[in-house]
Structure 1
Amino acid sequence: MLSWIDGRPAELLSVRDRGLAYGDGLFETIAVSGGRPALLERHLARLAEGCVRLQLPLEATSLRNELLAFSQQLGEGVAKLILTRGDGLRGYAPPQPAMTRRLLLGGPKPAYPSQHAEQGVHLFPCATRLAEQPLLAGLKHLNRLEQVLARGEWQDDEHAEGLMLDAAGRVIEGVFSNLFLFKDGTLLTADLSRCGVAGVMRAELLAQAATLGMACEVRDLDLAELLGADEVFMCNSLYGVWPVRRLRDRDWPVGPLTRKLQAIARDLLDC
């Protein structure tokens, strides 16, 4: 594994780091192909938004250059960028001024079975619910305990992903993916203003679908609407698009609109 801390090769982190103590920071997981980071502008835009909301200092140009240099050295794989508020003393109060720490970890792309993309996946209905916190909604912050608990709910090979609802029972996302559904010719995805992660592939597919003239809506979704959909798929910035074939006893076909967006996602990740 390739690892840099604050722009230099390193593997040791201070025990006082607030990312470890409080989850005080953000991260991005970026596919790298041919030495180039995929969807870089969307990753950086989400990171910048997160830094504003968490009041983390960000040198955007320097970080971009660092990511490009790291990706070139990695060549092929996945770059995980972590920003923390750096070292701090005991207590929640943020240090003033904060010294943002940058961690870059590089490794191989996950070896997902090809049939996930080709034939589709089964979703596990997670009991773990997402709590509402509008101040953090959409961000990829370091506190992922809800996802850790949800992913621990199944250990079988039948389910490739899990479906997560919020505390009110609204359909939100997968454990590590965003969810889309087609219903009566309209592309639908959940409103993430209360909770959830606003994925960069989600944003890109919404933009691409609008360019293609598809009707798109971002709004609250319930389980009945999901079960009544014509097509369902999951997406993220590493695997692209996985068609959803089953949730409990509900089966869906792998439809033409899913295949169209899957091809677009594949091209985007090919850099």
Structure 2
Amino acid sequence: MVWINGEPQDRVLAADRAVQFGDGCFTTARILQGNVVALEAHLARLQAGCERLKIHGVDWVALREEILLAAASRTTGVLKAIISRGVGGRGYSASGCEHPTRLVYLSDYPAHYLTLRKTGVRLALSSIRLSKNPLLAGIKHLNRLEQVLIRTELDQTGADEALVLDTDGSLVECCAANLFWRKGKQVFTPSLSQSGVDGIQRQRVIQLLRGLGTEVQEVSLPLETLASAEEVLITNALMPVLPVCQIEEWHYPSRQLFDLLRPEDD
């Protein structure tokens, strides 16, 4: 089911800048018992994305109501909320774009995440490198062509997810997840100052671990650093935390950190 500006429909105008330029941002949230998990964090993400992209005039009150109404129709599922700059402007110019488009979309929950909590995730190193762009780093903007290419390549392998580096060879994230690893009592996650998406669950894990007295170091390190990791995890708002059992020829039997962060609904 899809709602566009509060109306149930499934067509976006061809002139909308989401279609023309990928001009907007989005967030993807989990629905449990008719409620959106971490709703406030998802709305804050959208607001931060719009601020970074200089998209003004979003009716946030209406969007919240639309999200709540859509989620209430499902016991479980996935809700995707998109903000486009809307229709207007000429060429790349955003002049005249006064009414951003709100889109709320529902889909089924990916059941394989439940299986992967038990079996662990196999990561394959992607040959697609993420470009470095601090202006857009961290936010979930609508231009996901790099991820489309990564996923297309991943579909040709037997792996569950892709491990992605930037153009300098530093660890960044997965195709649709953030990355953590543990060495002894130290926990690391890639710095996202130059590329990647700062996920809701990534933020939650960092906050939770720091609250438990474990400092999470945000680092820019090469692939080889994972050779000596004792444990690797990936996260996103839907998973929300999955253990990694293998990356290429490296294996990770430990689940110490995963057990600490294990989802309450597991």
TM range (shorter): over 0.9
Pair 1:224 & 2:227 matched: no
Residue 29 of structure 2 corresponds to which residue in structure 1? 30
The superposition leaves residues 58-105 of structure 1 with CA deviations (integer Å, 9 ceiling, x where unpaired) of: 333332222112211234211111110111354001133431100111
Secondary structure at the residue paired with 1:74? coil
Number of aligned residue pairs: give it.
265
C-alpha separation between the residues in 1 aligned to 2:64 and 2:114?
A: 32
* Equivalent residues of 1:185, 1:215 under 8 A apart: no
The superposition leaves residues 25-61 of structure 1 with CA deviations (integer Å, 9 ceiling, x where unpaired) of: 0011111111100011211111111110111123333
1:251 is matched by which residue type in structure 2?
Answer: H
C-alpha separation between the residues in 2 aligned to 1:29 and 1:204?
A: 15
* Equivalent residues of 2:66, 2:104 under 8 A apart: no
C-alpha separation between the residues in 2 aligned to 1:240 and 1:174?
A: 14
Residue 236 of structure 2 corresponds to which residue in structure 1? 236
C-alpha separation between the residues in 2 aligned to 1:140 and 1:215?
A: 25
Aligned-pair RMSD on alpha carbons?
Answer: 1.6
1:214: Cα distance to partner? 1.5
C-alpha separation between the residues in 1 aligned to 2:157 and 2:128?
A: 20
* Equivalent residues of 2:181, 2:187 under 8 A apart: yes
Alignment of 1:42-191 (within 5 A): 42-57=41-56, 58-112=58-112, 114-155=114-155, 158-191=158-191
Give the 3 Å change call, closer, same or farther, for CA 113–133 of structure 1 in structure 2. Answer: closer
* Equivalent residues of 1:56, 1:98 under 8 A apart: no
Secondary structure at the residue paired with 2:154? coil
C-alpha separation between the residues in 2 aligned to 1:56 and 1:209?
A: 34
Alignment of 1:184-223 (within 5 A): 184-223=184-223
The superposition leaves residues 180-234 of structure 1 with CA deviations (integer Å, 9 ceiling, x where unpaired) of: 0011211110110100000000001111111122221112122121221111011
Higher RCO (CA-CA < 8 Å; seq separation 6+): 1
More deviation in 241-250 or 161-170? 241-250
* Equivalent residues of 1:133, 1:194 under 8 A apart: yes
Secondary structure at the residue paired with 1:81? strand
Secondary structure at the residue paired with 2:73? helix
